[in-house]
Structure 1
């Protein structure tokens, strides 16, 4: 193989490795929560005639591994045939999931939080027409070293009745990825916390240094560059004749 051809192949490896790293980074950072789900929800107190209230949570969320921040869309919907009248939606966090803010809603005082919860906001509505829905952007954090749950109760205006409650339902993953830009979590899945040393590849030989997963993309690029360097440094055979 000629030096020129070897150089061309090595350069292609570098380009391909760089493209792979870029694609993986973009995919991990994508904020696609998917369609909403009422998983873990149930009717509690009987709602007024013609009123059928439910809630929806995204089927998946993404937690930033550096800041532990995540965004969740919480939706309340009236699937009945009559206006709901005054209602309020609570957005409550448990364990490793902490609700930091819900624009347009009021924080729930610590003494009024449901037992076992760590944070919550109350969102009041004058009424929800038949077939209408209202969505809220939930700013939260998720400690990936713990399990985490969210709960969405829907009450009447004075809080004396709970017409519907979704959760506490978990978000989690059975395959933590601590060195990726973000970790995707699925609704209804118990989180498997990151174990000590879980961010390292296994050793492949005695005394061999462990390679962090985050360096894998860079290693691909370095491998291509090393191939180029090796091809240029490789001694040529003396010509015969």
Structure 2
């Protein structure tokens, strides 16, 4: 009888341990990468019939506290029923977020950067079939003592029309981790420095805007709608098309 009781208790302990492992595994799964978000995006110029272009950014990224390096996945999608034809995706960095490289894409020279940005790459796409998407790995740095934004416009191959633009949308931290190896940043959250030029990590506050488009973002949308970003970039500042 004693032996049976011991066996039963041992069996219960094993079952409890197994349940705990399952619970912990489920909790760990909650930290897996979330699906991308089109937050801060909107159509600008009308796309060809049957073509619906959008972009996605990760809901969360992580910045190395020592190197300030981070990786972002930028995705362009054609949610329409017809192929897109030749288009291009731009990946543009603002403020504390600097785009260092986009796999398979070309850097835009400093003199041709969108106003207010610090870096940009152009990704040429020969065609994006209906229902398909294309993802790009973005290598960037993020100065946690500053705000940081990214912008993803989708344009015609010549840049004269902008079918869709996401951002400039901010990334920010809701949980400063100065002693941790990395700091998590959330999409749609402003990074607010503690003090100008300070060495401390930034304080943050969630954006109240439904669509996080600041003054720079509004200017980019207007410029994209007028087809002025690159095709007419040499005109004097303020001259209308």
TM-score (norm 2): 0.68
Q: What is the number of residues matched between the two proteins?
A: 171
Q: Gaps (5+ residues) in structure 2?
A: 1-27, 202-241
Q: Tell me if 1:50 matches 2:50.
A: yes
**RMSD over aligned Cα, in angstroms?**
1.9
Counterpart for residue 67 of structure 2: 67
Structure 1 unmatched runs, 5+ = 1-26, 200-241
In structure 2, the residue matched to 1:134 is: 134
Larger radius of gyration: 1
Deviation at 1:34, TM superposition (A): 1.9
The ranges of structure 1 where at least 4 consecutive aligned residues each deviate by more than 6 angstroms after the TM superposition are none
TM superposition score normalised by structure 1 = 0.68
Counterpart Cα distance in 1 of 2:63 and 2:155: 29
Q: Is the 8 A contact 2:147 2:190 kept in 1?
A: yes
Residues 1:185 and 2:179 aligned together: no
Asked if 1 retains the 8 angstrom alpha-carbon contact of 2:57 and 2:74, the reply is yes
Assess, with a 3 A threshold, how the Cα gap between structure 1 residues 49 and 184 changes in structure 2: closer, same or farther: same
Distance, in Å, in 2 between the alignment partners of 1:53 and 1:68 is: 32
Deviation per residue, 1:28-49 (Å, 9 max, x gap): xxx9542100000000000000
| Equivalent pair of 2:174/2:186 in contact (CA under 8 Å) | no
Q: Report which structure shows greater RCO (CA 8 Å, sep ≥6).
A: 1
